[in-house]
Amino acid sequence: MPQPSKRAAARTGDLRDAFRATRALSEALVAPLSEADATIQSMPDASPAKWHLAHTTWFWETFLLRDHRANYRLWREDWPYLFNSYYEGEGERIARDRRGMLSRPALDEIVAWRRHVSEAMEPLLDRPELAALIELGIAHEQQHQELLLTDIKHALFQNPLGPAMWHATPARATQQPEESWYEHPGGIALIGHDGGGFAFDNEGPRHRVLLEPFALAGRLVTNAEWQAFIDDGGYRAASLWLSDGWAWVQSEGITAPLYWRDGESFTHSGWQARDPNAPVSHLSYFEVDAFATWAGARLPTEFEWEAIAQGHDPEAGNQLDDASPPLPIGGTELFGDCWQFTRSAYLPYPRFRAADGAVGEYNGKFMSGQVVLKGASCATVRGQSRACYRNFFYPHQRWQFTGLRLAKDL
């Protein structure tokens, strides 16, 4: 678990503002949804929107109010079973793939609980010794805001009518810059969180890695470039694919990125004409690896990506600022638009040790079989990411805003 930083301890006013803003944004994101929209679950990897609202509230009630607010009583004694996610230390819970069966409690009941918990949290926001847990709770809810957006997009996509969550015309991308590269001479690089400000436990400890000379592309791969890959038979050429990836393509009948159909892409504003200049998104690791091979390049390691990113502003680029439709539009910033696959396995850093207690289950127990992604997406709350941030997914998953930035050896 992160330790309280001097900044967090000294600026509890900022922490209070961040807590309030985060809680308000979660509710604003579900405002366009009906009760039915907020209840459906389209696949086991996704959760209903109202479950996200409830789970993030359970987190505050379980790890802050229950243990640190005298005489606090749970809103409902039976709700932790419904809204615990994967914390074995917190007991039994409903199966993940059954969350969509929770027609009760209703959305308005969950919103009432949220507001009760937010009000109960107010006295704790001034306590410096709780700053680390509060920062973790804010970051946790911000992660679920992104999941809420990507999960509801997948759910609405199942509807043949292609319903819009927001009736807004998405912004169009501008012509992307010509190919350019960030070159790195190689050598010893310091990787991981430096101890200043908040970070998740999986971002440290800081350690040294040896890099060979390499270059990282100056922009993300676009829809037009991906279409060229398709037109050249990219999904039909076994020689481009990893063995597991080719088996996945064959068994699932994959012929294009998720949410593509003839000339269109499904968005939070329904079906829209696909912008050829926008970054391609909703790709699996298998797909981006095959594209990199086809392009005569490769994916960067997470260490290469971070070594370049240390000189860039993590709050730049196309990221989420309010409750509006997220959509990749492109640019030259290293952060934003799409999470970028690396070729690095999600594994612990040297000297990593998970925190004691249930909160220590947050990241460490998932360090197996997954791939690291870096950067931020158009659905990532601005200010959440940083150069050392490590997102992670299984190789076949692609319902997130996932894309790619190429790398090459020098």
Q: pLDDT, tens digit, for every residue of 299-353?
A: 999 999 999 999 899 999 999 999 999 999 999 999 999 999 999 999 999 999 8
Helix and strand totals (H; E) in the chain: 12, 12
Q: What is the CATH number of domain 181-409?
A: 3.90.1580.10
Write down the pLDDT at residue 365.
Answer: 86
Confidence band, pLDDT 50/70/90 cuts, at residue 363: confident
80: preceding bond cis by omega (within 30 degrees): no
pLDDT at position 362 over 90: no
Per-residue confidence (pLDDT) for residue 7, from 0 to 100: 37
Cα 208-403-320 angle, rounded to 5 deg: 90
Residue with tokens 């804010």: 138
Residues of the chain with pLDDT > 70, as a percent, come to 95
Residue 111 clears pLDDT 80, i.e. is over it: yes
Report the mean per-residue pLDDT for the chain. 93
Q: What is the pLDDT of residue 184?
A: 98
Distance CA 54, CA 67 (A): 19
- Which one-letter amino acid corresponds to residue 247? A
76 SS3 class? coil
The pLDDT of residue 13 is: 66
Assigned token pair, 265: 């892409």
In the predicted structure, residue 357 carries a pLDDT above the cut 90: no
User: How sure is the predictor about 3, in pLDDT bands with cuts at 50, 70 and 90?
Assistant: very low
pLDDT at 1 over 80: no
Where do the domains of the chain lie? 6-157, 181-409
Reported as a single tens digit per residue, the pLDDT across 11-65 is: 456 999 999 999 999 999 999 999 999 999 999 999 999 999 999 999 999 999 9
Which DSSP string do the residues of 319-388 spell out, in sequence order?
-B-SSS-------S-SSSSSEEEEEEE--PPTT--PPSSGGGGSSGGG-SS-EEEEE--TTSBTTS--TT
